[in-house]
């Protein structure tokens, strides 16, 4: 693991970096998130309705019937980890290269056993902490939030190393990550309201399926925004992305700027990032992707997709 970093960038800046990174590609990236939610939430709910197990309980003199189906739960246990890994790889690749490759959504099946175990381990640990009280559960969920990112960057890591490294990286960062997630609460309410309006409660099975399918649309937009921001956070956390005030970059060839707000990245995004440095309009704090001088022409040891260093697990 690289040196430990504390993310000091405010949530507003992280969200803006996420929005700017999606400019011109919102629709293409949205399709990836839509496919992900269809294959996870929608299919899981559909299986519960196709294979229902109805039970009746008596409550205060009234008989209440509910669906106790487990088909969707079994599907989620087996495949959510694989699809989560694929989505993580998809958004990391997009953020770093600006290339939309939706086939990466299915890359988790090449590590199916590992992704299942990682997802189950995270769910189990969060559940055990939540038994103490809801706040320890929330803290645990945040501490393990980087595990799939770490696995995406280091697919050879054992699952406990991903969890352990996530915990180490989040030391001192739990509060600012929680604030970042909380800053989306307005969008969450809006997406939930729209989803509720699109989800039909009457009209039979077909209407319910159509409504659930349409309800995925606002949640896909919401997830696209939130997870892209979380990806920005991960890149800041690992040092792949660094926000530098008063950087000695050049906003025009031959003219040094010590006042603009820039972002340096260890990886290359533009085809010619050194000669094509973008500076946003004046009076706006901004950022740009460009490799550090020492990294130009030389890939990083832990470059995306390359094997990580071997280390024994617990």
The yes-or-no verdict on residue 259 having pLDDT over 50 is no
Name the β-bridge partners of 63.
58
Average pLDDT, the chain: 77
Percent with pLDDT over 70 in the chain: 69
Tens digit of each residue's pLDDT (9 = 90 or more) over 7-63: 999 999 999 999 999 999 999 999 999 999 999 988 888 887 777 666 666 666 676
Of the pLDDT bands very low, low, confident and very high (cuts 50, 70, 90), residue 202 is: low
The string of DSSP letters for 228-254 reads: HHHHHHHHHHHTSEEEEET--EEEETT
pLDDT on residue 68: 62
Q: How far is CA 110 from CA 74, 81, 268, in A?
A: 20, 12, 27
| More confident position, 287 or 101 | 101
Tens digit of each residue's pLDDT (9 = 90 or more) over 99-148: 999 999 999 999 999 999 999 999 999 999 999 888 999 999 999 999 99
Q: What is the dihedral of CA 293, 294, 296, 299, to 10 degrees?
A: -150
Of the pLDDT bands very low, low, confident and very high (cuts 50, 70, 90), residue 200 is: low
Residue 184 CB burial class (10 angstroms; 0-12, 13-18, ≥19): middle
25 contacts 100 by C-beta, under 8 angstroms: yes
Tens digit of each residue's pLDDT (9 = 90 or more) over 221-252: 999 999 999 999 999 999 888 776 533 232 33
Residues 6+ apart with CB under 8 A from 265: 96, 235, 240, 241, 242, 289, 290, 291
3-state helix, strand, coil in the chain (%, to 5): 60, 10, 30
Give the integer Cα–Cα distance in Å for 5 and 255.
Answer: 31
The yes-or-no verdict on residue 264 having pLDDT over 70 is no
What angle (nearest 5°) sits at the alpha carbon of residue 157, between those of residues 152 and 160? 105
In this structure, the strands spanning 62-67 and 261-265 are unpaired
């Amino acid at each position: 693991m690289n040196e430990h970093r504390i993310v000091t960038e405010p949530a507003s800046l992280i969200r803006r970096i996420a929005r700017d990174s999606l400019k011109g590609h919102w629709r293409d990236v949205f399709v990836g998130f839509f496919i992900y939610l269809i294959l996870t939430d929608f299919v899981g709910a559909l299986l519960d309705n196709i294979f229902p197990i109805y039970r009746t309980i008596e409550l205060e003199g009234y008989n209440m019937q509910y669906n106790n189906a487990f088909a969707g739960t079994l599907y989620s246990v087996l495949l959510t980890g694989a699809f989560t890994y694929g989505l993580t790889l998809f958004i990391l690749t997009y953020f770093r290269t600006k290339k939309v490759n939706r086939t990466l959504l299915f890359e988790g099946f090449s590590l199916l056993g590992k992704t299942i175990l990682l997802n189950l381990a995270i769910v189990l640990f969060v559940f055990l902490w939540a038994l103490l009280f809801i706040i320890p559960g929330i803290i645990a969920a945040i501490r393990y939030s980087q595990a799939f990112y770490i696995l995406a960057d280091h697919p050879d890591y054992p699952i406990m190393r991903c969890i352990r490294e996530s915990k180490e990286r989040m030391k001192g960062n739990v509060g600012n990550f929680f604030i970042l997630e909380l800053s989306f609460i307005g969008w969450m309410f809006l997406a939930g309201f729209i989803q509720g309006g699109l989800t039909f409660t009457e009209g039979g099975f077909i209407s319910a399926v159509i409504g659930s399918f349409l309800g995925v649309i606002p949640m896909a937009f919401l997830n696209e925004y939130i997870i892209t921001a979380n990806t920005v956070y991960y890149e800041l956390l690992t040092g792949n992305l660094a926000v530098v005030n008063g950087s000695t970059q050049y906003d025009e060839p031959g003219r040094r700027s010590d006042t603009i707000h820039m972002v340096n990245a260890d990886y290359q995004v533009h085809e010619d990032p050194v000669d094509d440095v973008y500076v946003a309009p004046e009076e706006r704090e901004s950022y740009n992707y460009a490799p550090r001088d020492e990294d130009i022409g030389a890939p990083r040891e832990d470059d995306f997709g390359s094997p990580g260093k071997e280390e024994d697990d617990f």
